[in-house]
Amino acid sequence: MRIWKIIIVLLAISVAILSILAGCSSKQTTSAQDKKENHKAHAVAAPVSQEQKSQPNKIVYLTFDDGPGEYTSQVLDILNQYHIKATFFVLGPHAEKYKNLVQQEVQEGDYVGMHSMTHNYKTLYVQGQFVNEMKTDQQIIQQITGIQPILCRPPYGSMPGLNQKLRDQVAAAGLKVWDWTIDSLDWKYNKVPFSKSVPAIVHNVLSHANGNREVVLMHDIHPQSVQALPTIIQGLKEKGYVFETYNEQEHFSLNFWHDNRL
Ligand SMILES: [Zn+2]
């Protein structure tokens, strides 16, 4: 009888020990599973953020020079249709003539910058009137919109006209200068049938749109530019571009001289 009692007590103790051990190990398994689950959750989340890092939004700035003009309202209609904004570099005399269009551009969230008064190479660069003309243009824009912009687009581009001396003046005046990364060459196709000009302009833009940040030069004073615009927008969208307008708070330097003061 004693032996049986001892055996039963020993059995009870060993069962108790086993059940305690089993409890511990099952807890460990659970926590290990928890860890695995957590790890899985991270593993699922990680590739998304990596993807976002390796494929940042490609940004394109559509810019229109020389306006406003008789085709500008069509350009604005197309931009509205696609819910996108653009940047307009206006000539002072044209802004005076089409004040309502300059106001509409600003009201619709487009940026309006300066493109000089005369658009004359000799006057701007040889006679050195660049800053004077941009300041006059700036005053005209301010009178029309209440906004004093700082960004100019140099007629014919900053190279070679905007020499060191003129760039010093631009920097001292607190103005900024933007050239472009893609020239649509839309002005070249005046009096060419749309059947030829439109595909050429579209090709000029889309074939060069390969970078993460592109600034496209167009003109809102030519009918062929308006005709090409919807296909250009669609093509850029298909290439993954997001459309933005110039923002003074997020200025980045873009001039052919690589002068980062401008
Ligand atoms: Zn121009």
Length of the chain: 262
Mean pLDDT throughout 207-229? 97
> What are the tens digits of pLDDT across the range 145-168?
999 999 999 999 999 999 999 999
CA of residue 38 relative to chain centroid, distance:
37
State the average pLDDT over residues 41-69.
Answer: 69
Report the separation in Å between the CA atom of 68 and the middle of ligand 1, taken as the mean of its atom positions: 11
CATH number of 58-250: 3.20.20.370
Record the pTM: 0.79
For the stretch 83-125, pLDDT in tens is: 999 999 999 999 999 999 999 999 999 999 999 999 999 999 9
Question: 20-24, 68-72, 134-138, 211-215: which range is least confident on average?
Answer: 20-24
Exposed/middle/buried for residue 73 (C-beta within 10 Å: 0-12, 13-18, 19+) = middle
Express as a percent the part of the chain with pLDDT over 90.
78
The rounded Å distance from CA 154 to ligand 1 centre is: 7
Residues with a known catalytic role: 65, 219
Query: Contact, 72 vs 220, CB < 8 A?
Result: yes
User: What's the whole-number mean pLDDT along residues 4-30?
Assistant: 45
Q: How confident is residue 18, by pLDDT bands cut at 50, 70 and 90?
A: very low
Q: Where are the domains of the chain?
A: 1-55, 58-250
Q: Could you report the per-residue pLDDT of 61-75, keeping only the tens digit for each?
A: 999 999 999 999 999
Q: How far is the CA of 56 from the centre of ligand 1 (A)?
A: 32
Distance 118 CA to ligand 1 centre (A): 10
Contacts of 116 (CB under 8 A, 6+ apart): 91, 92, 124, 130, 133, 134, 137, 152, 154, 155
